[in-house]
Amino acid sequence: MLQKPSPALEKKTAEIACYIDHGPALANGRIELLHYLREISLSVSYHRYGNLGLREGELRRPVL
């Protein structure tokens, strides 16, 4: 087990939103790795009747 960080180090890491884990490592990797996971989600879609974005100016065949 690691030592608790000094108050000066805790203050500096808090200023830059950094996390210091000084507890024991867990045997279950799925739970342990949650401390270090940064999830990012991105969705780009062109809906048939919605916003076409950059494709808005394209010439299209008229709908019958």
5-64 confidence digits (pLDDT tens): 899 999 999 999 888 888 888 888 888 888 788 888 877 666 666 666 777 777 878 777
Q: Domain residue spans in the chain?
A: 7-47
pTM of the full predicted structure?
0.42
Sign, CA torsion 8/37/30/33: negative
> Of 34, 33, 24, whose CA–CA distance to 4 is shortest?
24
